[in-house]
């Protein structure tokens, strides 16, 4: 170490963040502030951003601990809509469980569950118009479920089989679904942020009424793309809703590595002069209300909103990591905001609009539906079991028209297959 040049002042120290709890620790989340419902009441959608800054540090809540919906943010949804929301979230959870198991059975390479954060995709999407454009990250399969996309198509994609409309090119869960206004999912993080802003700029430039919505995790707010997107959104007053799903963990790195020790993620909005909301992400009604507020705002030329969903990733990042290796096992059980599915269920039961029997029956019905769909999907093949798209499709769609060098390489690949399978082998 160099000689200390500054006399008796303390040396500089590098701060490397450390999560509060590690494997084996007992968990106490009593320091997480849970302000009362309506601690900050719902402002008019047309408010200018600067008086809203307190919302970026608060927590928008609707469902209280007594299971009632309260306060000025209460979106006042009817029971049918709430039951549909519950059904979508239960469907998503059942789908995740089944596909996770399929990966464990060796039927595909990879899967990512969204357990515990179902509200941040399902309830958020239900607050949008069906043709508002969604730019998801990789954990928003709830958008597709809320928009009624065929489960069979999702499974075919997960299996990369011969019916996968992405021709087996993408890692499982990297869907693309223009018919649901759902953009192609990237494995590179937060690249979708400036893209969503560009889509919203185009919609505004063309005098359209559609807006865009984009999701990322809290960890990837550290990417430059996030900040480029917020700058462009602010500069052009783009009709875009930018959502940060703060599920506390980016693979094994806790939110402190994205800056959570100092401030909220919603507070990023304050510096850009746009509206920022911090929302209980496990409260489906709060998620819906915040999204609805932001959507109304965007649609009336009041510009972009940044929403942080404060939630918890109940499972591993993906099938490729073991969360027990880096965090305390009981964190989700102790999470002060509970489980979004259970909370909505309890709310509906308390309101006399649902009961345990109907809930179990629905859970069973959804499990059966998903099992049956899975059987259908597996008829089209599972990863690595022969039923894939034709070999030469590898060279399609690099460009609209195939250049000579790709034609040559395709021929080479087909020759390789012939040398492997015999001279009579034909591409199919």
Beta carbon nearer to another protein, 271 or 403: 403
CB of 188 to another protein, least distance (A): 5
Beta carbon nearer to another protein, 119 or 298: 298
Beta carbon nearer to another protein, 250 or 289: 250
Beta carbon nearer to another protein, 101 or 405: 405
Give the per-residue SS3 of the chain. Answer: CCCCCCCCCCCCCCCCCCCCCCCCCCCCCCCCCCCCCCCCCCCCCCCCCHHHHHHHCCCECCECCCCCECCCCCCCCCHHHHHHHHHHHHHHHHHHHHHHHHHHCCCCCCCCCCCCCHHHHHHHHHCCCCCCEEECCCCCHHHHHHCCCCHHHHHHHHHCCCCCCCCCCCCCCCCCEHHHCECCCCCCCCCHHHHHHHHHHHHHHCCCCCCEEEEEECHHHHCHHHHHHHHHHHHCCCCEEEEEEECCEECCEEHHHHCCCCCCCCCHHHHHCCEEEEEECCCHHHHHHHHHHHHHHHHCCCCCEEEEEECCCCCCCCCCCCHHHCCCCCHHHHCCCCCHHHHHHHHHHHCCCCCHHHHHHHHHHHHHHHHHHHHHHHHCCCCCCCCCCCHHHHHCCCCCCCCHHHHHHHHHHHHHHHHHHCCCCCCC
Beta carbon nearer to another protein, 90 or 197: 197
Beta carbon nearer to another protein, 150 or 361: 150
CB of 174 to another protein, least distance (A): 7
CB of 242 to another protein, least distance (A): 12
CB of 43 to another protein, least distance (A): 28
Contact residues toward another protein (CB under 8 A) are 133, 135, 165-167, 169-170, 174, 176-178, 183-184, 186, 188, 191, 193-203, 205-206, 212, 224-225, 228-229, 231-232, 235, 397-400, 403-405
Beta carbon nearer to another protein, 238 or 294: 238
CB of 169 to another protein, least distance (A): 6
CB of 109 to another protein, least distance (A): 16
CB of 123 to another protein, least distance (A): 24
Beta carbon nearer to another protein, 165 or 379: 165
CB of 186 to another protein, least distance (A): 6
DSSP lists the bridge partners of residue 253 as 250
């Amino acid at each position: 170490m160099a000689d200390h040049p500054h006399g008796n002042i303390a040396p500089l120290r590098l701060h490397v963040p450390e999560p509060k709890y590690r494997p084996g620790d007992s968990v106490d989340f009593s320091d997480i502030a849970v302000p009362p419902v309506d601690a900050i009441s719902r402002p008019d959608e047309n408010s200018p951003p600067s008086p809203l800054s307190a919302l970026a540090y608060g927590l928008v809540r609707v469902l209280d601990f007594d299971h009632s919906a309260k306060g000025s943010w209460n979106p006042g949804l009817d029971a049918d809509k709430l039951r549909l929301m519950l059904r979508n979230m239960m469907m998503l959870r059942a789908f995740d469980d089944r596909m996770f198991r399929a990966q464990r059975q060796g039927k595909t390479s990879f899967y990512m569950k969204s357990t515990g954060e179902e509200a941040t995709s399902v309830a958020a999407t239900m607050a949008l118009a069906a043709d508002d454009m969604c730019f998801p990250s990789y954990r928003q399969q709830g958008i597709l479920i809320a928009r009624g996309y065929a489960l069979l198509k999702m499974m075919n994609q997960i299996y990369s089989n011969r019916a996968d409309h992405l021709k087996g090119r993408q890692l499982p869960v990297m869907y693309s679904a223009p018919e649901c206004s759902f953009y192609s999912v990237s494995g590179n993080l937060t690249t979708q942020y400036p893209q969503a802003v560009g889509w919203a700029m185009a919609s505004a430039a063309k005098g359209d009424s559609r807006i865009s919505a984009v999701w990322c995790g809290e960890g990837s707010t550290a990417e430059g793309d996030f900040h480029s997107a917020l700058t462009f959104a602010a500069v052009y007053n783009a009709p875009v809703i930018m959502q940060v799903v703060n599920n506390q963990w980016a693979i094994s790195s806790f939110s402190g590595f994205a800056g959570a020790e100092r401030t909220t993620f919603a507070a990023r909005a304050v510096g850009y002069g746009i509206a920022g909301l911090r929302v209980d992400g496990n409260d489906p009604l709060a998620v819906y209300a915040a999204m609805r507020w932001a959507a109304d705002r965007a649609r009336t030329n009041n510009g972009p909103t940044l929403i942080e969903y404060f939630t918890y990733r109940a499972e591993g990042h993906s099938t490729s990591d073991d969360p027990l290796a880096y965090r305390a096992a009981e964190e989700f059980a102790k999470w002060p905001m509970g489980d979004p599915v259970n909370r909505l269920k309890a709310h509906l039961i308390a309101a006399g609009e649902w009961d345990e029997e109907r809930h179990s029956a629905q859970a069973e019905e959804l499990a059966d539906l998903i099992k049956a769909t899975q059987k259908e999907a597996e008829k089209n093949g599972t990863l690595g079991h022969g039923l894939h798209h034709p070999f030469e499709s590898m060279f399609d769609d690099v460009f609209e028209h195939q250049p000579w060098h790709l034609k040559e390489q395709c021929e080479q690949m087909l020759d390789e297959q012939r040398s492997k399978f015999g001279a009579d082998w034909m591409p199919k």
